[in-house]
Amino acid sequence: MSDDPDLSTHDSSLPGVLGIIDSTISRIESFLLAAGVLLMALNTVSNVVGRFVFQSSLFFSEELNRILIILITFAGISYAARHGRHIRMSAIYDALPSTARKPLMVGIAFITAIFMFGLCYYSIGYIETQASRGRVLPALQIPVWITLVWVPVGFFMTGMQYTLTAIKNLTSRDIYLSTSVLEGYEETEQEI
Amino acid sequence: MAATVFLSMIVLLLLGFPMMIPLIVGAFIGFVTMFGGLGQMETMIQQMMAGIRPASLIAVPMFIFAADIMTRGHSASRLIDLVMAFVGHVKGGLAVSTAAACTMFGAVSGSTQATVVAIGSPLRPRMLKAGYKDSFVLALIVNASDIAFLIPPSIGMIIYGVVSNTSIAELFIAGIGPGLLILVLFSIYSYIYAVRNKVPAEPKASWRERGRAFVSALWPLGFPVIIIGGIYGGIFSPTEAAAACVLYALLLEVVIFRSISLMDVYSTAKSTGLITAVVFILVGAGAAFSWVISFAQVPQAMLGAIGITEMGPIGVLFVISIAFFVGCMFVDPIVVILVLVPIFAPVVDGVGLDPVLVGTIITLQVAIGSATPPFGCDIFTAIAVFKRPYVEVIRGTPPFIFILLCVAVALIFFPQIALFARDLAFR
Amino acid sequence: ETWKYAFEEAMEEVQGKYAQKFKEVIEANSDHEIQLFPFGTLGESADIMEQAQAGILQFVDQSPGFTGSLIPEAQVFFVPYLLPTDQEQLARFYKNSKAVNEMFPELYAEQGLELLTMFPEGEVAMTTKEPVESCADLEGVKFRVMTNPLLVESYKAFGATPTPLPWGEVYGSLQTNIIQGQENPTFFLYSTKLYEVTDYITYAGHNNFTTAVMANKDFFDGLSEEDQQLVERAADEAYDYIVEYQKGLADSELKKIQEAKPEITVTTLSEEQRKCFKDAAADVEAKFIEMTGDSGKEILDQLKADLQAAAE
Ligand code: NA
Ligand code: NA
């Protein structure tokens, strides 16, 4: 786990206003990732301190971690898509000639995007169902649906990233793993 | 239906789709065929959430975070220098130490994924520098972390004990024998590997150098104290110990050693979040997939088809071994235990097998399965953390999996490997 | 037709036994088949409840304590010393109670569920590392409870430090002494081996574990009259069976615990020793009314009246 220079840049490869929006979203995602992880550590340790020093557990500690892990996962999947970091098995793909790799990558990106948009749609439905039933978290007593709002957003942003990847591959000579990452990772330690 | 689903998943995987897609497609086909359309897709979302929710999984990002801070700062290298001062001159010493560290850490943390990151990330660079091949190093880390499941406390054994109504205390003791046997066999293999590949040994350190290494590692030695002392001393749960390590790592590296800045902490947290997301989306998709398998009663149908009720004890143990091994190649071990154990319970009862032996075998099999392609979750973790291609991570695994399978077979024919300690303690 | 039925316990625990009997009656008297899904095979308690609401599952067993996040009034079963410990009296109560048989079904119906039956799973026992003879003995004891506001309130009022922990961590945390106590019905103490990591079992009579079996309402309403009657009959027969099955179950499971661990100490608190626990119960009742308002109070009052009737 060396430094991640590829993660420190937020410069979008999209033109104009789109690029600014894209960079801003990327910044928000990375902030949420970091904040989620730090809050999780703080929350968990506070629970220990509360139990030992104040003889009183934080009843919401576990629920808060559940909320944070959803936030981290769904802010993270689109951030990972942006940086070409989703895990894949590329052995066969890599062995193909570039004339075959390009259409394959376009297909992969489009199909992945379709599934992400589909899951986005159904997760909105799931949230609506939760809201209509009025289920609350037992300790925090807040509605369950609120804890899930990041799910459709994450799926949507991931779908967008893969759509843009497909478009990028269709409009440029090189083959791209994501909007900002060129393929060809066997030589470097950076990519997955 | 099951065959079609598995086949499409494998094809998507091989084509180079992001790994979440085969799992999502597998679940998706299941939902569409079972419910005749898209009417129940919300349950798929529910199960993806259910997969990432378990409180014990929180230990994974916490250990990733702590290990990353330690590795960027001074703690990790000072701890390893200390180990090297004692074993660096032994052939294969570093590999054996890594395996032993995985065992010890796994024993207390109880999580194979946490072990992969916490031990693997500081030790892998050092092993590469010492001349081990990356494929060997990755395979060693991924597979040695399996031992975490067998050495108590083991979440897998607790779940098995509860579902099958078996003494958890007896299971814990029964796991130690096979766990140590695997450690010994891995050590022997590491030694042979080091000799055959001419991995150079370092010159033997003097006692003076060892003393210096010890002094410089004094602060970082707080980590094992927090983890082992904290958990066995009743202060932390394993998850809480992970978070405490994060705090201690921040204290050491930011305040005492001043080796990293607050900005570094921020970017480390970000990369931890990214790794977590990449692994957890697969855990979630895997949960949705396993829900389909469970709901459609696929295991029941398969066991009926092979006529398990006609088999003797050895046959039943083989079927159990294969079922859990294959199950964990696709989905999370805990889910596999919850789904399969009740299905096998009447058969195990019928042929009069010792449930403690069965539990030990199952625990071993889920550990092996979680490190076995295509979808073993330890492999995902290693790929995400070490940023190596899938094929590279699995290339070195066959010898390890072979050793593990030998132990698994030995356990069937020589149950005393597991039951000797149990009988000594309880009978 | 194939119907699916999920519950919160293992196949050979009380909810599983009920489900097996239910299945047996249905299958013996119709062409329908029932598939059973024990604990964890389709998700946690909240998951299977949602699946039943979505109509994927036809039947589900969820204990009112868990239903509290959906139907707050269901938490009434956590008010200490509300329910008696006498098994026969309890059995009469569940069978005839107006609150259970008329008021709760309306609340469940609002959530798309047909409440088929509620039944007791036995007196809840505390298991601890140190003896408990009064509230004072719980002072400073970290006591694991389910994440439920009323249970937390109860143990606070008893003097303990209530510590919510996920179920999977309970055994390990007792072993390493992160917590020093937890509560569950006797059969559960045996089947989940919690006695292995605690040394004292104490019966304070403060609660009886209640559970509820429901059907998806649309599914139930869509059944032919004949099938509806069959489902109700199966629920009734399984109820009678489970009441009979549980007679002496607590005693026999306790005996098994004592055989497996002879050094364990079992105590039933005397009326006098229970006094401080009973005094604390009033706080919890007040908290329940504060949380659920008039509708909760109405249910509570009706329950008390029904219990009075069952006692006579
Ligand atoms: Na362990
Ligand atoms: Na493993």
- Contact (CB<8Å) B15/A86: no
Task: Give distance in angstroms: CA of B33 to centre of ligand 2.
Answer: 33
B contacts of C47 (beta carbons < 8 Å): 46-47, 50
C contacts of B167 (beta carbons < 8 Å): 193, 196, 260
Which ligand lies nearest the alpha carbon of B103? 1
Residue B173: pLDDT band with limits 50, 70, 90: confident
Check if the beta carbon of residue B366 is closer than 8 Å to that of residue B112: no
Percent of chain C at pLDDT above 90? 76
B contacts of A123 (beta carbons < 8 Å): 45
Task: Give distance in angstroms: CA of B56 to centre of ligand 2.
Answer: 16
CA-nearest residue to B49 within chain C is C47
Partner A contacted by C43 (CB < 8 A): no
Letter string b/e over residues B403-413, b meaning 16 or more CB atoms within 10 A of that residue's CB? bbbebbeebbe
ipTM: 0.90
Task: Quick: pLDDT tens for C57-111.
Answer: 999 999 988 888 899 999 999 999 999 888 888 889 998 999 999 999 999 999 9
Partner A contacted by B132 (CB < 8 A): no
- Contact (CB<8Å) C176/B234: yes
Between CA C170 and CA B153 the distance in angstroms is 12
Closest CA to B408 of B317, B334, B340, B338: B317
- Contact (CB<8Å) A62/C164: yes
CA-nearest residue to B19 within chain A is A88
C contacts of A125 (beta carbons < 8 Å): none
CA distance C88 to chain A (A): 32
Whether B425 shows a pLDDT value over 80: the answer reads: no
Task: Give distance in angstroms: CA of B57 to centre of ligand 1.
Answer: 14
Nearest by CB to B267, which of A8, A36, A118? A8
Q: What are phi and psi of C36, to 5 degrees?
A: -105, 140
Residue B22: cis peptide before it, omega within 30 degrees of 0:
no
CB-facing half-sphere around the CA of C34: CA atoms within 13 A: 25
What does the DSSP assignment read for A137-192?
-TTT--BGGGGGTHHHHHHHHHHHHHHHHHHHHHHSSS-BSSSS-BS--TT-SS--
The pLDDT value given to residue A151 = 97
Q: Helix (H, G, I), strand (E, B), or coil: what is residue B180?
A: helix
Task: Give distance in angstroms: CA of B130 to centre of ligand 2.
Answer: 24
Task: Quick: pLDDT tens for C179-224.
Answer: 999 999 999 999 888 999 999 999 999 999 999 999 999 999 999 9
- Contact (CB<8Å) A57/C163: yes
Length of chain A: 192
List, as ranges, residues 273-302 from B with C-beta within 8 Å of C: 291, 294-295, 297
The pLDDT value given to residue B214 = 92
CA-nearest residue to B426 within chain C is C260
- Contact (CB<8Å) C10/B291: no
Partner A contacted by C69 (CB < 8 A): yes
Task: Give distance in angstroms: CA of B379 to centre of ligand 2.
Answer: 8
Task: Give distance in angstroms: CA of B112 to centre of ligand 2.
Answer: 5
| Residue C255: C-alpha distances to residues B240, B242, C9 (Å) | 36, 40, 21
Which ligand lies nearest the alpha carbon of B111? 1
CA distance A55 to chain C (A): 6
CA distance C260 to chain B (A): 10
Whether B154 shows a pLDDT value over 80: the answer reads: no
Task: Give distance in angstroms: CA of C112 to centre of ligand 1.
Answer: 43
Partner C contacted by B162 (CB < 8 A): yes
What does the DSSP assignment read for chain C?
-EEEEE-SS-TTSHHHHHHHHHHHHHHHHSS-EEEEE-TTSS--HHHHHHHHHTTSSSEEEE-HHHHTTT-GGGGGGGSTTSS-S-HHHHHHHHHH-HIIIIIHHHHHHHTTEEEEEEEEEEEEEEEESS--SSGGGGTT-EEEE-S-HHHHHHHHHHTSEEEE--GGGHHHHHHTTS--EEEEEHHHHHHTTGGGG--EEEE----EEEEEEEEEHHHHHHS-HHHHHHHHHHHHHHHHHHHHHHTTHHHHHHHHHHHH-TT-EEEE--HHHHHHHHHHHHHHHHHHHHHHHHHHHHHHHHHHHHHHHHH-
C55: left (phi over 0), alpha (psi -120 to 50) or beta: left
B contacts of C10 (beta carbons < 8 Å): 162-163, 165, 342
Between CA C287 and CA B400 the distance in angstroms is 58
Task: Quick: pLDDT tens for A136-157.
Answer: 888 888 999 999 999 999 999 9
Whether B427 shows a pLDDT value over 70: the answer reads: no
Bridge partner residues of C266 (DSSP): C201
Partner C contacted by B237 (CB < 8 A): yes
Task: Give distance in angstroms: CA of B115 to centre of ligand 2.
Answer: 9
Positive or negative: CA dihedral B232, B234, B239, B244 = negative
Task: Give distance in angstroms: CA of B392 to centre of ligand 2.
Answer: 16
Q: Which of B167-181, C18-32, C88-102 has the highest mean pLDDT?
A: C18-32
Closest CA to C244 of C123, C120, C82, C93: C120
Q: Which of A140-144, A177-181, B277-281 has the lowest mean pLDDT?
A: A177-181
CA distance A20 to chain B (A): 21
Which ligand lies nearest the alpha carbon of B377? 2
The pLDDT value given to residue B390 = 83
- Contact (CB<8Å) B294/C38: no
Whether A109 shows a pLDDT value over 50: the answer reads: yes
The pLDDT value given to residue B49 = 93
| Residue B328: C-alpha distances to residues B97, B255, B288, B377 (Å) | 27, 43, 14, 9
Q: What are phi and psi of C199, to 5 degrees?
A: -120, -15
CA distance A82 to chain B (A): 11
Average pLDDT value for residue range B149-159: 79
Partner A contacted by B270 (CB < 8 A): yes
B156: burial class by Cβ within 10 Å (0-12, 13-18, 19+)? buried
Partner A contacted by B57 (CB < 8 A): yes
Residue C229: pLDDT band with limits 50, 70, 90: very high
Residue A93: pLDDT band with limits 50, 70, 90: confident
Whether C116 shows a pLDDT value over 70: the answer reads: yes
Average pLDDT value for residue range C15-37: 96
Partner C contacted by B327 (CB < 8 A): no
- Contact (CB<8Å) A83/B278: no
**Domains of chain C (ranges plus CATH)?**
2-311 (3.40.190.170)
On average, the pLDDT of chain B sits at 86
- Contact (CB<8Å) B276/A72: yes
Average pLDDT value for residue range C217-240: 96
Task: Tell me the count of A-B CB pairs closer than 8 A.
Answer: 206
Per DSSP (E only), the strands in B283-368 are none
- Contact (CB<8Å) C53/A55: no
What tokens were used for C76? 């009434």
Task: Quick: pLDDT tens for C262-304.
Answer: 999 999 999 999 999 999 999 999 999 999 999 999 999 999 9
B contacts of C165 (beta carbons < 8 Å): 237
The pLDDT value given to residue A185 = 47
**Bigger pLDDT: A136 or B155?**
A136
CA distance C163 to chain A (A): 6
Partner C contacted by B33 (CB < 8 A): no
Task: Quick: pLDDT tens for A4-62.
Answer: 545 555 567 777 888 888 889 999 999 999 999 999 999 998 988 888 888 777 888 88
The pLDDT value given to residue B109 = 67
Nearest by CB to B40, which of C56, C169, C171? C56
On average, the pLDDT of chain A sits at 86
Whether A2 shows a pLDDT value over 70: the answer reads: no
CA-nearest residue to C56 within chain B is B40
Between CA C245 and CA C14 the distance in angstroms is 9
Q: Which of A44, A70, A111 to mutate to test the interface with B (most CBs of B within 10 A)?
A: A44
The pLDDT value given to residue C56 = 94
On average, the pLDDT of chain C sits at 92
Task: Quick: pLDDT tens for B231-273.
Answer: 778 888 878 888 898 999 999 999 999 999 999 999 999 989 9
Whether B372 shows a pLDDT value over 70: the answer reads: yes
What tokens were used for B67? 């290990």
C311: burial class by Cβ within 10 Å (0-12, 13-18, 19+)? exposed
Nearest by CB to C142, which of A51, A63, A139? A51
Which ligand lies nearest the alpha carbon of B401? 2
- HEC per residue, C57-119: CCEEEECHHHHCCCCHHHHHHHCCCCCCCCHHHHHHHHHHCHHHHHHHHHHHHHCCEEEEEEE
CA-nearest residue to B51 within chain A is A70
Between CA C6 and CA B9 the distance in angstroms is 28
Closest CA to A43 of B317, B252, B55: B55
Whether pTM exceeds 0.80: yes
The pLDDT value given to residue B293 = 85
Task: Quick: pLDDT tens for C128-171.
Answer: 999 999 999 999 899 998 888 889 899 999 999 998 887 878 88
Task: Tell me the count of B-C CB pairs closer than 8 A.
Answer: 98
B contacts of A125 (beta carbons < 8 Å): 41-42, 45
